[in-house]
Amino acid sequence: MDTAVFDPSGNNNGFPEPGEQGLQLFEALYNQGAITSTQITARVTSLTTGVTIDTADTAYADIAVGDSGSNTTPYLFSIEPSVACGTDMNFTAVVTDSVNTYSTAFALNASALLPRQDIFFNDMEGGAAGWTTGGNPNSWAITTNASHSPTHSWTDSPAGNYQDNTNNWVRTPAYDLSGMRRVELDGWFKYALETGYDYAYLEYSLNGGNSWNPTPLATLNGSQDWYAVNIDASVLDNQSNVALRFRLQSDGSVVFDGIYVDDVALSYEPFECTYAPLPDAPTLVSPADGTWVSSPVTFEWQPAGTGAPVEGYIFFLDDSPVMTFTEPITTTTLDVSPWSHTWFVKATNTSGASEPSPTWTFDVLAKLFLPFTMK
């Protein structure tokens, strides 16, 4: 099951961000059954406060066995500006076809994804880089016996095979992962371990290495030449005192070469929210609609009490933009010619201009000059 989001009414970057309205959502369904799925309809529901469904119902074309298909018309949903950037938005969809009713669940993140960034990368070429060793025997070391790139790696037993009853490790320094999400570990491993008896573990600590979680991120056994690993380490998301270690543990008989570790990177997925909702239309104050005034005329308005923050205004006189303010200034004074005029104002921010305020009319009194005669 895959999802796709389009935001033509927002900043059109393909990501759902707080404040965006009318987001288009497509969900692909996969037919794992024994017959073609027909007469498919679906209804989606939001489970997240501040995320509203504007169009909940859709339909699908027939989906053959083993094929997938997306809804023919999009679901529409909106995200309130109050939803925090990076919030996981949870949805359920109830799907009905000619045979049965099914439920699906999925999540979207209220943010724009950025390229992954390394928390650390260690290719073992620059020395220990803060990594430390321990255990019995304390034999982990950087070696040139084998490597992925270019000449160095960590290994548990650089002098040859590991010993019986080994329990030793190499560990990283502690890292602060606060605010980081979707953490992954990548690396290159090579190992030869007694199948079914001797193991290497990738373990993690959430208290800087004072204790280690009993459920490892990865468990290695048997034999494997150099291969790339990509490990979901999201259990480390937003943790403030994370350490990792590679630990080898053997039984009392039969030994092999052990494990080599190279080109290890811990990374996360940054995100941002760049969409700024448009401000609401301002409220006009004076001159009041339909009044007579004298020139120069002082115009006054005020920001709406709702909507996004205002950064400036555009002042329109007789449908022409005559003044643009890059600060939230709410008054201006102008010389205006006699007789009838109209005025309105738009509020602005980085996303653009609001809808116009109501248009008001006013009349400017003409200055009369009476003839003056001297006797």
Cβ atoms 334, 297 nearer than 8 A:
yes
Domain boundary among 55, 77, 112: 112
- pLDDT tens figures, 281-335: 999 999 999 999 999 999 999 999 888 889 999 999 999 999 999 999 999 999 9
CATH number, residue 13:
2.60.40.10
Are 40 and 166 part of one and the same domain? no
Q: Which residue segment(s) compose the domain that 354 sits in?
A: 283-364
Cβ atoms 108, 89 nearer than 8 A:
yes
Are 175 and 235 part of one and the same domain? yes
Instruction: Label residue 77 by pLDDT band (50, 70, 90).
Output: very high
- Give this prediction's pTM: 0.73
CA gap 329, 264 in Å, rounded: 55
Taking residue 291's Cβ as centre, other Cβ atoms within 10 Å add up to 11
Domain boundary among 81, 112, 143: 112
Can you give the pLDDT at residue 166?
A: 99
In a domain, 264, yes or no: yes
Are 57 and 147 part of one and the same domain? no
Whether residue 372 has pLDDT greater than 60: no
295: which residues sit within 8 A by CB, 6+ positions away?
Answer: 335, 336, 337, 338, 364, 365
- Count the residues in the chain: 375
Task: Give the residue from 122, 119, 117 showing the smallest Cα distance to 246.
Answer: 122
Both structure tokens of 235:
């259990």
Are 146 and 257 part of one and the same domain? yes
CA gap 287, 293 in Å, rounded: 8
**How far from the centroid of its chain's Cα atoms is residue 83's Cα?**
12
CA gap 153, 172 in Å, rounded: 14
Can you give the pLDDT at residue 368?
A: 63
Are 136 and 261 part of one and the same domain? yes
CATH number, residue 229:
2.60.120.200
Mean pLDDT of the chain: 96
- pLDDT tens figures, 166-189: 999 999 999 999 999 999 999 999
Can you give the pLDDT at residue 373?
A: 58
Are 44 and 135 part of one and the same domain? no
Are 232 and 124 part of one and the same domain? yes
Are 91 and 158 part of one and the same domain? no
In a domain, 375, yes or no: no
In a domain, 217, yes or no: yes
Q: Please report where in the chains the tokens 């890059």 appear, as a residue.
A: 326
In a domain, 234, yes or no: yes
Mean local confidence (pLDDT), 273-282 = 91
Cis peptide before 137 (omega within 30 of 0): yes
In a domain, 369, yes or no: no
In a domain, 32, yes or no: yes
Both structure tokens of 62:
């027939």
In a domain, 276, yes or no: no
Can you give the pLDDT at residue 370?
A: 54
Whether residue 369 has pLDDT greater than 70: no
Are 185 and 251 part of one and the same domain? yes
Are 90 and 45 part of one and the same domain? yes
Q: Please report where in the chains the tokens 């020395």 appear, as a residue.
A: 127
Mean local confidence (pLDDT), 269-280 = 92
Whether residue 276 has pLDDT greater than 90: no
In a domain, 300, yes or no: yes
Are 340 and 316 part of one and the same domain? yes
Q: What percent of the chain has pLDDT over 70?
A: 98
3-state secondary structure of 235: helix
- pLDDT tens figures, 117-172: 999 999 999 999 999 999 999 999 999 999 999 999 999 999 999 999 999 999 99
Q: Please report where in the chains the tokens 């489970």 appear, as a residue.
A: 47
CA gap 122, 246 in Å, rounded: 14
371: which residues sit within 8 A by CB, 6+ positions away?
Answer: none
212: which residues sit within 8 A by CB, 6+ positions away?
Answer: 203, 204, 205, 245
Domain boundary among 112, 141, 176: 112
CA gap 328, 78 in Å, rounded: 28
Can you give the pLDDT at residue 351?
A: 81
Are 299 and 254 part of one and the same domain? no
Both structure tokens of 72:
């023919």
Can you give the pLDDT at residue 81?
A: 87
Whether residue 350 has pLDDT greater than 90: no
**How far from the centroid of its chain's Cα atoms is residue 145's Cα?**
42
CA gap 26, 4 in Å, rounded: 5
Both structure tokens of 137:
């025997």
* Counted domains in the chain: 3
Can you give the pLDDT at residue 278?
A: 86
